[in-house]
Amino acid sequence: MADLSTTYLGLQLKNPIVASSSPLSKHVERARKLEEAGISAIVMYSLFEEQIIHESLELDHYLTQGTDTYPEALSYLPDTGSYSLAPDRYLEQVSALKKALKIPVIGSLNGVSKGGWTRYARRIQEAGADALELNLYYMVTDPELKSEDVESAQVDLVAEVKSAITIPLAVKLSPYITSLPNFASRLVQAGADGLVLFNRFYQPDFDLNELEIVHSLDLSTPIEIRLPLRWISILYGKVNADFALTSGVHTTKEVLKSMMAGAKVAMMASSFLQNGERAVAGLLNEMNWWMDTHEYESIKQMQGSMSQRAVREPAAFERANYMKVLSSWRDLP
Ligand SMILES: Cc1cc2nc3c(=O)[nH]c(=O)nc-3n(C[C@H](O)[C@H](O)[C@H](O)COP(=O)(O)O)c2cc1C
């Protein structure tokens, strides 16, 4: 049997299959079933900056305003009633998962600005999390805002969060960055121990009859792996961080590809939400079988073997690939 073990953020993991941030971690029992099935770590659903700020605004509102005013900027948030308790509940859930599970539990904060809300990084650590994932989800809509300023603000945020904790920090980022290698190395200089590629953006749609914006959550398909696969391949060996690949990992093939690109772990959400823990045993068996058949002794031996610096054709990850792909189209006779 091949050695499936890997390390991620200094954590020793028995295999590279990690449950990505999702509602699965809201239920201790579901997380325990995933652990029993064989996953090596779990990332919790995110606690959002808005939830934390909302809690303090709400407190302020009751102390100073009376009940008929309400912070308008936050009115768009879902389910504001239950939001107010969210930060405390989140910390309780970190502790509950830690108590129930033997595998590492990675907390998740989701935010964009520096400020008091980042104190929750320390609280998540105190609640027992083994590491923290910081999700930098930001949509720039202001034409006056320069990319350099947006990126610097995010780098500063990473430094602020890092300075509040002693557990390892991973940063989950967007693919829509002009110079991703530069931004990734700035994040690492600011204290990121790991980079999670990528945030999956849910694009709003239009309902033509109702003339309304429609929000639909479509789960991923395996083809989506290609974007993070390409970028981890490019960044591997250039940026000194542990990489986690998320988006489109559904079968053994995607796990193996993630490793070959240079990821330390492959994170899965859609597949587990669709199929539950049933998929895990099959994935692990198939990985063992594939590695034995192809004479790989360990996952570590595989990691980075198809990265840009390792392959015979490094240009396959660059502009030349685009030209080659376009010219591969054959017109109908
Ligand atoms: C229902 C659902 C909830 C999610 N919630 C979070 C979240 O709270 N924080 C986060 O960083 N990512 C969240 N994600 C994104 C996943 O962690 C993952 O990065 C993304 O779904 C791509 O992986 P997949 O192809 O395996 O689904 C969520 C995904 C789904 C489907």
296 has pLDDT over 90 = yes
**pLDDT tens string 238-247:** 999 999 999 9
State the pLDDT at residue 68.
44
Q: Which atom of ligand 1 is nearest to the CA of 45?
A: 8
Q: Which atom of ligand 1 is nearest to the CA of 135?
A: 11
- Which class for 178: exposed (0-12), middle (13-18), buried (19 or more C-beta within 10 A)? exposed
Cβ–ligand 1 contact at 25 (below 6 Å): no
Q: Which of helix, strand or coil describes residue 209?
A: coil
Nearest CA to 230 among 218, 248, 209?
Answer: 248
Cβ–ligand 1 contact at 24 (below 6 Å): no
Q: Which atom of ligand 1 is nearest to the CA of 133?
A: 11
Cβ–ligand 1 contact at 46 (below 6 Å): yes
> pLDDT band at 322, cuts 50/70/90?
confident
Ligand 1, atom 28, lies closest to the CA of 22
Q: How many CB atoms lie within 10 A of CB 202?
A: 10
Ligand 1, atom 30, lies closest to the CA of 22
* Own/partner pairs, 123-129, CB within 8 angstroms, 24+ separation: 123/87, 123/91, 124/47, 124/90, 124/91, 124/94, 125/165, 125/166, 125/167, 127/91, 127/92, 127/94, 127/95, 127/98, 128/94, 128/95, 128/98, 129/44, 129/94, 129/98, 129/105, 129/167
**Structural tokens at position 77:** 């948030």
Q: Are strands 11-13 and 6-8 parallel, antiparallel or unpaired?
A: antiparallel
For the full predicted model, state whether its pTM sits above 0.85. Answer: yes
21 CA from centroid of ligand 1 (Å): 5
**pLDDT tens string 114-153:** 887 889 999 999 999 999 999 998 888 999 999 999 999 9
Cβ–ligand 1 contact at 154 (below 6 Å): no
pLDDT above 70 coverage of the chain, percent: 90
Ligand 1, atom 22, lies closest to the CA of 247
200 CA from centroid of ligand 1 (Å): 7
Ligand 1, atom 2, lies closest to the CA of 22
Cβ–ligand 1 contact at 246 (below 6 Å): yes
